[in-house]
Amino acid sequence: MPQPKGLTADGHKIRQYTHIAEDSTSIADDLVSCVKEDSEGNLWIGTQKGLNKFNREQNTFERAYFKDQSGGFMPINDYVRAILPDENHVIWVETAKGDLIKYNSLSKNSIVYHHKRPTMVNTYFYHDLYKDKNGMLWLGGRFMGIYKFNPETGRFYQYQEDEDDITKKRENDVAMYFLDSKNTMWVGGIDGLYTLNTKSGFFNKELPISTFTVVEDGDNRLWFGTGAGIYVYDSSNHSFTVMNKDDNNPLFLIHDHVNKIFIDRSQNIWIGTIDGISVYRPSKNKFKHIYHIPGDEQTLVSSNVTSIVQLSSGEVWVGTDNAGIDRMTEQFTRKSSLNSSGKGLDKLNSNKISVLMQDSEGDVWAGQWSGRGFNIIDPGSLAIKSYSFLKNSLKADWYNDIFEDSKGNFWIGLWGSQGLYQFDKARGLFKDQTFQLKQSISPGPVKKLAFDGKELWIGLQNQPVRC
């Protein structure tokens, strides 16, 4: 049975599940590719060596078995790339072998539909399995092809790529499908962004740049952030507004390399780049650039922005890579800064901020990428408290993520100390430090967090994790 990696004194638990060769109830493999919850609350976990279902009562993993032709049972032990829970106990499973499996978790019956394999599955981890409102399944991966599958007929329809035909997608790579509020299907990949007319089967290339994600704002505009600037799509006139750096136009983006996009409560869109922040104000239809100007104390202390959070008071705090935290007004001017050169105890552990989070009590948590710990800040008094995982070492305290769940538990993803840990804010201590440092814990940063309403699920692996 997989053992929980850490039991706290107040009864809370951190469990780390790893594959144990001699234990059939452990997870099938340590490389977790996806986690999905079905309509009954069951958790399904895809790994490099098969499909698992988590048994909450027994705290064990069950291998997914299907009936073979002889009436016996065989495990689904292929590399699972994507999972899609459906109706009537059906779980759709995509594998690296190019199999789409229709698996009935109740009867254990399964049907396998084969298509082209994805390539480079240990390097590129994106793989999409998407169900549209008409019940069609859409699937795609790295150079796998553009497939639509009809569950009623059991047949695939493959959209053929053709670099010489403008009605087709140039390459057979798919990173994402997205159906927007206007019922337009978008398909993105390394060869650009396309819209697809699902009736005619014609593609129309919308952007010539690699596209892997899209967000729709409250006005039904689509915002695409790339390494070549921002592309905003307006469906009312079928046009893109390109927002990028232009030295001759101060109203444009401050830098083309976008690190972060954030929409505040006033619908201002904050775009963090490697050269400062651009704030787009829809009410004025223009950008406000926020960057460091030597000698101007109302500007950022540093233009190298790594994190942005808006507090309940309306203040926006900006974390930087080399100068600590700036407190900004809603008018985008700097009120004050917090850094590592403050007086007494009211100073940050380091100026290299990696993550900012305001908790339910109003305090701001500042994780740092320096090996020196993290800080909790009272935004009213600006009192700063310092904490660390390993106080006398620079090896452990490198912070990737900080998260507060619905029960008020605090979870911290660390790089140097190999995993995810729980922090007791009241006591000011990490929980069960000694047990967490055992050699059995797999090294690597936390790549994915998922909260199912009862438990926090994590993927620990030196690989990207897609859920």
Residue % of the chain over a pLDDT of 70: 79
Segment among 132-146, 207-221, 300-314, 409-423 with least mean pLDDT: 409-423
129 lies in some domain:
yes
187 lies in some domain:
yes
pLDDT reported for residue 465: 38
Q: How many CA atoms lie within 13 A of 288 on its CB side?
A: 15
Give tens-digit pLDDT for 406-464: 778 888 877 765 566 788 899 888 876 433 333 344 445 554 555 556 655 555 544 43
231 lies in some domain:
no
Segment among 139-143, 232-236, 341-345, 386-390 with least mean pLDDT: 341-345
Band (39; pLDDT cuts 50, 70, 90): confident
Alpha helix positions (H), 220-292? none
pLDDT reported for residue 369: 85
pLDDT reported for residue 86: 94
221 lies in some domain:
no
The secondary structure of residue 326, as a DSSP letter, is E
Give tens-digit pLDDT for 179-193: 888 889 988 877 888
406 lies in some domain:
no
179 lies in some domain:
yes
Query: Smallest Cα–Cα separation from 272: which of 337, 319, 206, 336?
Result: 319
How far, in Å, CA of 105 to CA of 85, rounded?
10
Give tens-digit pLDDT for 82-112: 999 999 999 999 999 999 999 998 888 889 9
DSSP 232-256: EEETTTTEEEEE-B-TT-TTSBS-S
Q: Which domain holds residue 201?
A: 123-213
154 pLDDT above the threshold of 90: yes
The mean predicted confidence, pLDDT, of the chain is 78
4 pLDDT above the threshold of 50: no
What is the b/e burial string over 439-455, where b = at least 16 CB atoms within 10 angstroms of the residue's CB? eebeeebbbbbbeeeee
266 lies in some domain:
no
12 pLDDT above the threshold of 80: no
114 lies in some domain:
no
Segment among 141-150, 174-183, 313-322, 441-450 with least mean pLDDT: 441-450
Question: Into how many domains does the chain fold?
Answer: 1
In sequence order, what are the beta bridge partners of 63? 52
